[in-house]
Amino acid sequence: MTSAAIYGCSGPELTAAERDFFADVRPWGFILFRRNVDNPDQVRALVAALRDSIGAPDAPVLIDQEGGRVQRLGPPHWPKYPPGDAYLKAAAVDEVNDDGARERVRLGARLMAHDLQSLGINVDCVPVLDVPVPGAHDIIGDRAYAHDPDTVARLGRAAAEGLLAGGVLPVIKHMPGHGRAFADSHKALPVVHADLATLEAWDFVPFRALSDMPMAMTAHVVFDAIDPKHPATTSKKVIRLMRKQLGFAGLILTDDLSMKALSGSLAERAAAALKAGCDVVLHCNGDLEEMRQVADGTGKLKGRAARRAAAALARIVHTPEPLDAVAARARFAAEMAGRIEAAQGPDVGEARAPAA
């Protein structure tokens, strides 16, 4: 039976030890990072090998392909894409609303889906629905589509629809909101002190608006108005809020368990997240010993979680919306002129195994 986990691997080819481990624990899916990417043929072969290791030809293979600082596929084999905030910045002087930005976001996401689908990758961890507030840590920063929740919701939906049209599942993140965090959860545990009314009126708005999406990723953030003891990922109270108040019925997966915002052993983190109500845990850095620890705390994917997982995969369109990729890419480049090259910076969240 499938386990309630998604794992990375260490390099551009699957090792014999990784293959044996995956065959034994049978994770629900996999995630790729830049360390796993060389060229298109190599990525296709790796994707096929991962799925073959568990005997699941349609297993989800995830990637973080946002654009800007978070882009695992890039030149020379794949184009650069802009960060989230570039779409509004590219507005024409006579553009009086965000219709043009929505079209640009959808087009960019549709092109990303075209890139991913050709490689066999069927899940993209986009859109970012976090709404930054003044003074917050810049871990979200330009990854956010805007600085108000309604615009983030509209542009986030455009991104999700572009991915779905191209045969790729979106993952809304980081639920219920990372934009108010004053620390980078890769390095420390952020604590948000805003009251519930403020969170409801601001941070939660985009997630409620996109509650019909197939998958969501949690935030490793403490919301002390809801649960002052546990970050969202391991909080029954926060997961219950996602289900009840925000109305999210899809699959909930954790952010990377190896991030320093979480405490305890990896087995304890995995068990706590699943006990809190997450459906699937995510471990990214490809360290085999760490993956074995995660497996010790991870049970089988069953019951409601298994049904949510199946429902998510059923949303994949196997005949993508028609696309003239050459013409679409030329149009996108023209509309985003000056916003793609200028917006690059240090990578975010490129998970790597800890140094020996």
Catalytic residues: 186, 255
What is the rounded distance in angstroms from the CA atom of residue 216 to the CA atom of residue 112?
A: 19
DSSP character for 84? T
For 25, 31, 112, 156, 312, the CA distances from 124, given in Å and listed in that order, are 23, 10, 9, 13, 13
Helix (H) or strand (E) holding 66: strand 65-67
Whole-number Cα distances in Å, 167 to 83, 111, 120, 123, 320 = 22, 11, 10, 9, 5
Q: Give the Cβ contact number of residue 234 at 10 Å.
A: 29
Between CA 304 and CA 288 the distance in angstroms is 29
- The amino acid at 119: L
